[in-house]
């Protein structure tokens, strides 16, 4: 049986081929099949991670992603068409993950990235400035019983991971398809699982 391996170990899944570790330099072709596959795997992962209903009441999961592909390297560059498609794909992937809150930065492309899921779930994303990493992390720790989506940046996510207690996890600047899931369960040592979502087929 195949498995999906993250930073915290392997999860047995007979259809793990739907989530692959892949990097690309061209904008990805995001298909309906990929949307369905990503959503199915995330739904199963959430079920495995949360386990029984009683455990689900004790802790939640923090889903962290970088914003999608952008039109340029300008500081305030918005998403390009590939990034907009990735935002739609993220919404399909997490729509059944029981997300209670969404946190974005004061940079518009993170808000664009979160918009499709926020609309689907009737949530209003909460803006925490990009530079206020400590404030974001404090908020996440206080809301540890909720499932939360965080949309942030390539240069801030490693510091967020470090302050959450899972190490300073880094990834390549060309990667827009990384999905990180942090569990702060039970007040013990936090755990992290790293996946790829909505990549090339």
Identify the three-state secondary structure at position 33: helix
Query: How many CA atoms, within 13 angstroms, populate the side-chain half-sphere of residue 175?
Result: 19
**Does the pLDDT at position 17 exceed 80?**
no
Question: How remote is the C-alpha of 19 from its chain's centroid?
Answer: 14
Q: What is the pLDDT of residue 2?
A: 30
Tell me the domains of the chain and their CATH numbers.
3-196 (3.40.50.1240)
Q: How far is it, in rounded angstroms, from Cα 200 to Cα 141?
A: 34
For residues 9 and 46, the answer to whether their CB atoms sit within 8 Å is no
Q: How far is it, in rounded angstroms, from Cα 71 to Cα 84?
A: 11
Q: How far is it, in rounded angstroms, from Cα 21 to Cα 2?
A: 14
For residues 6 and 166, the answer to whether their CB atoms sit within 8 Å is no
Q: What is the pLDDT of residue 199?
A: 81
Q: What is the pLDDT of residue 41?
A: 55
Q: What is the mean pLDDT of residues 105-112?
A: 98
pLDDT digits over 23-42, tens only?
333 334 444 444 444 555 55
**Does the pLDDT at position 150 exceed 50?**
yes
Question: Quick check: pTM over 0.85?
Answer: no
Residues whose CB falls within 8 Å of the CB of residue 86, separated by 6 or more in sequence, listed in order: 28, 30, 68, 69, 79, 113, 176, 177, 198
Sort residue 6 into left (φ over 0), alpha (ψ -120 to 50) or beta.
Answer: beta
Q: What is the DSSP string of 121-171?
A: HT--PEE--TT-HHHHHHHHHHTTTSEEEEEE-TTTHHHHHHHHTS-----
DSSP label at 79? B
**Does the pLDDT at position 99 exceed 50?**
yes
Higher pLDDT among residues 39 and 71, named by residue: 71
């Amino acid at each position: 049986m195949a498995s999906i391996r993250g930073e915290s170990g392997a999860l047995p899944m007979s259809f793990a081929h739907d989530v692959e570790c892949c990097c690309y330099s061209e904008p990805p072709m995001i298909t309906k099949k990929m949307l369905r596959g990503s959503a199915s795997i995330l739904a199963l992962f959430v079920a495995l991670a949360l386990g029984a209903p009683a455990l689900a009441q004790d802790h939640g999961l923090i889903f962290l992603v970088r914003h999608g592909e952008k039109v340029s390297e300008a500081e305030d560059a918005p998403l390009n068409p590939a990034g907009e498609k990735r935002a739609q794909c993220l919404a399909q992937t997490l729509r059944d993950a029981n997300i209670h809150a969404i946190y974005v930065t004061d940079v518009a492309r993170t808000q664009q990235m979160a918009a499709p899921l926020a609309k689907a779930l009737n949530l209003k994303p909460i803006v925490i400035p990009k530079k206020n990493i400590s404030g974001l992390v404090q908020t996440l720790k206080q809301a540890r019983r909720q499932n939360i989506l965080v949309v942030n940046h390539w240069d801030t996510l490693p510091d967020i991971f470090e302050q959450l207690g899972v190490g300073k996890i880094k990834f390549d600047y060309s990667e827009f398809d990384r999905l990180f899931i942090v569990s702060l369960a039970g007040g013990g040592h936090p755990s992290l699982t790293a996946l790829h979502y909505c990549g090339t087929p």
